Structure 1
């Protein structure tokens, strides 16, 4: 099953890094829903799920990356919202 394989690989990727941040330009839309099976398979394995569609979202990403060893509340809020 391709979805199981994807979940396995994303879990492996997550275990190989300190924190896995998934960037999605579609999060700029208020009504975004995680309907795609690939997104559903990925969500349990990421630490943060963030929008990346303009300079403000990139600035927020840089701030999050600059906070050594901490997880961003904003990135986790998106994760809770769509999961």
Structure 2
């Protein structure tokens, strides 16, 4: 179990081969046990990226932020976001959820 104010950073491309129902339940449980769940996905750097894999579809509805991670600029943007008190909820997520 995590502390109440925990910020969890998940680094994954979401291309799990066996992303069954259990993955969605575990991510939802993780989300409920932390203050912020940030997903860093290296695939977001590609124009035309589509959240089609089962893993991405299972994880995305439960994250608070969906960010690219592929260069120093993306890491600097993450640091800036982490330094903001409270942080935004559902930043970068809504556009992807509606495309699913």
TM-score normalised by structure 2 residue count: 0.74
Query: Which runs of 4 or more aligned residues in structure 1 lie more than 2 Å from their structure 2 counterparts after TM superposition?
Result: none
More helix by share: 1
More strand by share: 2
Kept in 1, the 8 Å contact 2:37–2:64? The answer is yes
Q: Displacement of 1:81 after TM fit?
A: 2.2
Kept in 1, the 8 Å contact 2:37–2:63? The answer is yes
Structure 1 unmatched runs, 5+: none
Structure 2 unmatched runs, 5+: 1-17
SS at 2:47 equivalent = coil
SS at 1:20 equivalent = strand
Alignment root-mean-square deviation, CA = 1.7
1:1-83 alignment, distance < 5 Å: 2-71=19-88, 76=91, 78-83=92-97
